[in-house]
Structure 1
Amino acid sequence: MNMTRRKPACAGVLIAPLGALVWAVLGAAQAFPAQGAFTAAPPRIMIVAGPLEIHRTVAEQIAAELRRRPVTPELAHLPPPDHREELDALVRSIAQDPPAVILTVGDQATEWACVRVRGVPIVFTLVANALDESYVRVESRTEGVAAGGIAADLAPRTLLEEVRACLPSLRRAALLHSSSSLRTAESIREAGKALDIDVVLVPAEQKRFLDALTQLENTAPDAVLMIPDPQVYDGAAIRSLLTWGARRSTPIWGFSANVVKAGAYAGAFFDDRRIAAQTADLVLRMLDPNAGPLSPLDYAACVRRAVNLHTSGIVGKRVTDAFLSGDVLKYGDEP
């Protein structure tokens, strides 16, 4: 008699699925760990603000904007150039605990970061005449340049369209520049060709500003365009140019609200109230692996207009209703 016990017919059928079920459960437990076990901390964004008040104001606005996004902003102020120990300490802190991105506000902070920091992507904002800065990325360089950023300038065509909206008869404009703003000036001249505006470039510098005014006389422009170049303009140079324009009934296009308030005919420039949101969006694009590389340079997307109605009367050029519509800073209309 065969005393060997036979397995129940169903045993093989049950054991295999049971084993598979056990491993499936164990595998699921490994595939789906306890909630939060692999939750990464929000990316840290170090904001380094330059020394000017506008840099620090915008940096604080950007930090506030980023706090509403899935990142953790940290705000630092760039120490003065002669405070070497503080500058070295800032570099060491970045090296010891690198953030995901360094966001620099202003040209001084951006130049410092591109020279001193390695291994962390750098994004900049609020840099004037950005085309002329060496840290704007070009294909032949990989070190010492920013991943991308936002200029404090309007796009060249946008700038000229704003001038044309204010002065529809504009055909010839002069633009004072130095070697530090030559590429920016050339880009504006090139944009003028498509708009039938002849932009004449006039080299200038503070120490020989009267020579530049003499050349303006020979140029006979319909208007003079100012760009924020510290090698060309200080307080005395700005006053000289505004006086020149008033005496010759030539509109001077200012690069900031303060210049328009001081007596320039009108101006259009970046809106400091809205550039924070544009910058925050750029940082998030930098962090998005599906977004692709950043453009080397974006321009300020939001435009703020200003006009000096008193100067408009002096030069005999009425500001158009189209330019005055919307959110416009108006000066010179006090009773």
Structure 2
Amino acid sequence: MRLKLLMSICLVLVWVLTASAQRVYVAMSNSKPHYQAAETGFWEALSQAGFPKSALTTKTFDLSIDKGQSALEQIQAEPPDVVLTLGTGATKFIRAKAPDIPVVFAMVIFPKRNGLIRSLKRPGNNITGVTLDVAIEDQFKVMLQTQPSLKRVGVIYNPEENRRFITRAEKVAANYGLTLVKQEIHQSNKLSQAFEALAGQIDLLWMIPDTTVFPRDANKLAFARDYLIKNATLKQISTYGLAENFVRSGATLSLMADVTDAGKQAGEIVAQLLKGKPISQISVQYPRTVRLSLNLRTATAINLHIPADVIQQAELKID
């Protein structure tokens, strides 16, 4: 009799736990390695916060398959408590198709400019997350660490796209004793003229995400990247690249978010939500762990002597 009672209690407990298991889904733009690395960090952080994957109802969707239609059907049939979105495309898709579901994003650059949030501090719209953008302060700091004599930083940009960003960057640069030398551009085919107008006035060329300077088309982006790096190097100007592949192509340095740790940050945010904290009280975070890449061959070519302690910090060194 006691055995039957114990078995009944166990069955009831299993049913209750299963029925009440919180649903956490992951939707990624595609299954490329950097998204998978972020997802790995995400589940690791959730487990460390007391939410192992085995105790949750989970699903992972690659939205590049059938344009996300099957994912959307499953999400609508069994709405999750929260969705982790990896990538700008995935985040836009879930926000548009399932706006009532809380979203925590990672692997997204310029979330405000992409229309995903109202601001970093108060994102609103049932959404928050971890931006892929490295804080401007961190970028200028590493420029100075790499090039201590740095005074004048040049930037080419389209004001229609980057006016507010550049206005803020000017203020941050001044706080670090730097002068931001600006050169506007309105057409991609005017890049060489913009660079030549800037070249004689700067110590470093800061490359920022700007679709006029670096078009979305991969071939056009590569052309602009290679043109700027080559010609800046010829003029003994150091270059801060958008990403690690810019350094592999000859840029002097770049700073990028550690994608696995960005996934962990997103996991920590989701853990707060599962514990009951309102999503409206959680601001968007900058990546807390960044990776420095250096091209020492380029540094030698432009007679830039990077301090030894900075070289030691770099995770990628091209020499």
CA contact 1:101–1:121 (8 Å) conserved in 2: yes
What's the CA shift for 1:111?
1.6
After the TM superposition, which residues 124-163 of structure 1 pair with which residues of structure 2 at under 5 Å, given as runs? 124-138=105-119, 145=125, 147-163=127-143
CA contact 2:41–2:263 (8 Å) conserved in 1: yes
- Say if 1:79 and 1:49 are closer, same or farther in 2 by CA, change over 3 A: same
| Partner SS for 1:137 | coil
Larger radius of gyration: 1
Most deviating of 305-314 and 264-273:
264-273
After the TM superposition, which residues 88-99 of structure 1 pair with which residues of structure 2 at under 5 Å, given as runs? 88-99=69-80
Residue matched to 1:197 = 178
Higher normalized helix content (fraction of residues): 2
Task: Work out which of the residue numbers 53, 58, 61 in structure 2 matches 1:76.
Answer: 61
What's the CA shift for 1:152?
0.8
Structure 1: which 5+ runs fail to align? 1-33
Most deviating of 90-99 and 147-156:
90-99
2:273 pairs with 1:286: yes
CA-atom RMSD in angstroms: 2.8
Counting aligned pairs with the same residue, the percent is 21
CA contact 2:292–2:314 (8 Å) conserved in 1: yes
In the aligned structure 1, how far is the partner of 2:109 from the partner of 2:280? 22
Task: Work out which of the residue numbers 32, 36, 42 in structure 1 matches 2:21.
Answer: 42
What's the CA shift for 1:323?
1.4
In the aligned structure 2, how far is the partner of 1:189 from the partner of 1:56? 33
**Which whole-Å deviations, capped at 9, do the CAs of 1:89-113 have from their partners, x for residues lacking one?**
4323212210111111111111222
Residue matched to 2:4 = none
In the aligned structure 1, how far is the partner of 2:123 from the partner of 2:40? 32
In the aligned structure 1, how far is the partner of 2:123 from the partner of 2:311? 44
Task: Work out which of the residue numbers 153, 176, 183 in structure 2 matches 1:173.
Answer: 153
**Aligned residue type for 1:106:** G
In the aligned structure 1, how far is the partner of 2:138 from the partner of 2:283? 18
Q: TM-score, normalised by structure 2?
A: 0.81
**Which whole-Å deviations, capped at 9, do the CAs of 1:208-244 have from their partners, x for residues lacking one?**
32232133236x1111111234442200000000011
Higher RCO structure, 1 or 2 (CA under 8 Å, sep 6+): 2
Residue matched to 1:321 = 308
What's the CA shift for 1:168?
1.4
CA contact 1:78–1:87 (8 Å) conserved in 2: yes
Most deviating of 295-304 and 63-72:
63-72
Residue matched to 2:168 = 187
In the aligned structure 2, how far is the partner of 1:240 from the partner of 1:307? 19
**Aligned residue type for 2:189:** K
- Say if 1:45 and 1:231 are closer, same or farther in 2 by CA, change over 3 A: farther
2:244 pairs with 1:257: yes
- Say if 1:53 and 1:47 are closer, same or farther in 2 by CA, change over 3 A: same
Task: Work out which of the residue numbers 190, 199, 224 in structure 2 matches 1:208.
Answer: 190
| Partner SS for 2:155 | strand
Structure 2: which 5+ runs fail to align? 1-11, 215-220
CA contact 2:23–2:82 (8 Å) conserved in 1: yes
2:293 pairs with 1:306: yes
What's the CA shift for 1:311?
0.1
In the aligned structure 1, how far is the partner of 2:291 from the partner of 2:28? 22
**Aligned residue type for 1:210:** S
What's the CA shift for 1:190?
2.6
| Partner SS for 1:130 | coil
| Partner SS for 1:325 | helix
Q: TM-score, normalised by structure 1?
A: 0.77
**Aligned residue type for 1:168:** P
- Say if 1:59 and 1:72 are closer, same or farther in 2 by CA, change over 3 A: farther
CA contact 2:252–2:294 (8 Å) conserved in 1: yes
- Say if 1:201 and 1:46 are closer, same or farther in 2 by CA, change over 3 A: farther
**Aligned residue type for 1:119:** D
Residue matched to 1:4 = none
In the aligned structure 2, how far is the partner of 1:65 from the partner of 1:182? 39
CA contact 1:49–1:55 (8 Å) conserved in 2: no
